[in-house]
């Protein structure tokens, strides 16, 4: 067995997308080879409805898959094929955009106004760029959760882990997508395929990954005795850890435990031509996609 070293730690950066949705982006829109086959990772956790009410109105996608994981609140979605539905707490949607789809995602907070979730973009190889669009909507109850003797909890969204397999299947990148909680003070080793690009995204608690610096907190504005102060949240919240090669990841949980997403995928290793929501292999394919958007031929008949 060989330990996977942590080769970088990245603090997700605040940005605005859609119709004014405040979110934090861990990576995306630059250096697409760095996390191949993954292109973008967004953390859209918000406590204030004003920060997300505008949602993500109608927009196109082609050549990728989008993976939405909701923790709290509801995401109402609809598309150009007539599909509609709601993603609730713990639910996952894996959308294969393929040849092209128009869709919208409108977030609604829970009773506390919370809207929490994540979206990951995975690339499609050239032979599947123009495949038919496909949805996999998975309810929370369908996602297996394993609880180890030491209290470690692992939800398996996709891929195989500890003898269980996640409900999402048929994904080009053959990814592993886990939601992991390690209790306070516990040191845990997780085995990961050596040949998959792998990252962890810490979103609750704190901990240390072997050969990594301490997860950094996000700078928060808090009101103390009537004054706005910038203070450092030392939770490790919104820290992405990228790993090198090896087949084991070791994490030491802090005094409040640690919860993180662990994501791994097989690199596609193809050229990437990317503009906004369209990801192809060549500039010519990009130009063709935007030409089709202009002349209303972007959406293809199914089984084309």
pLDDT confidence of residue 212? 55
State how far the Cα of 20 lies from the Cα of 12, in Å rounded to an integer: 18
Q: What is the 3-state secondary structure (H, E, C) of 146-165?
A: EECCCCCEEEEEECEECCEE
pLDDT confidence of residue 233? 34
In CATH terms, 6-294 corresponds, of 3.40.640.10, 3.40.50.700, 2.60.120.10, 3.20.20.70, to 2.60.120.10
How far is CA 103 from each of CA 71, 82, 106, 131, 133, rounded to the nearest angstrom?
Answer: 21, 10, 10, 17, 11
At 257, list the tokens: 């435990």
Rg for the chain (alpha carbons), in Å? 19
Contact 286, 273 (CB under 8 A): yes
pLDDT confidence of residue 191? 94
pLDDT confidence of residue 224? 40
pLDDT confidence of residue 82? 82
List of residues 6+ apart from 95 with CB closer than 8 A = 61, 65, 66, 67, 68, 101, 103, 133, 134, 135, 136
- What ranges do the domains of the chain cover? 6-294
Cis peptide before 205 (omega within 30 of 0): no
pLDDT confidence of residue 303? 67
With a cut of 70, list the residues of the chain below it in pLDDT: 212-235, 303-304
């Amino acid at each position: 067995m060989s330990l996977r070293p942590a080769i970088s730690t990245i603090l997700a950066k605040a940005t605005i997308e859609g119709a004014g949705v405040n979110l934090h982006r861990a990576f995306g829109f630059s250096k697409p080879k760095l996390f191949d086959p993954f292109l973008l990772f967004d953390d859209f956790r918000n406590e204030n409805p004003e920060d997300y009410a505008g949602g993500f109105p109608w927009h196109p996608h082609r050549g990728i898959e989008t993976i939405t994981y909701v923790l709290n609140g509801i995401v109402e979605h609809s598309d150009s094929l007539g599909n509609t539905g709601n993603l609730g707490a713990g639910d996952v949607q894996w959308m294969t955009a393929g040849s092209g789809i128009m869709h919208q995602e409108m977030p609604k907070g829970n009773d506390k106004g919370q809207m929490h979730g994540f979206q990951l973009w995975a690339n499609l190889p050239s032979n599947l760029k123009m495949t038919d669009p496909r949805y996999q909507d998975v309810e929370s109850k369908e996602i297996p959760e394993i609880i180890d003797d030491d209290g470690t909890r692992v939800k398996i969204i996709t891929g195989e882990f500890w003898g269980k397999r996640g409900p999402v299947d048929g994904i080009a990148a053959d990814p592993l997508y886990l939601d992991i909680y390690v209790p306070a003070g516990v040191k845990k080793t997780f085995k990961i395929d050596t040949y998959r690009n792998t990252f962890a995204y810490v979103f609750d608690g704190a901990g240390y990954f072997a050969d990594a610096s301490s997860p950094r907190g996000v700078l928060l504005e808090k009101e103390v005795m009537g004054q706005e102060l910038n203070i450092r949240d030392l939770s490790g919240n919104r820290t992405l850890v990228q790993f090198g090669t090896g087949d084991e990841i070791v994490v030491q949980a802090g005094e409040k435990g640690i919860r993180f997403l662990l994501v791994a995928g097989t690199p596609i290793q193809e050229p990437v031509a990317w503009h906004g929501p369209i990801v192809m292999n060549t500039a010519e394919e990009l130009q063709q996609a935007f030409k089709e958007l202009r002349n209303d031929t972007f959406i293809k008949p199914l089984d084309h």
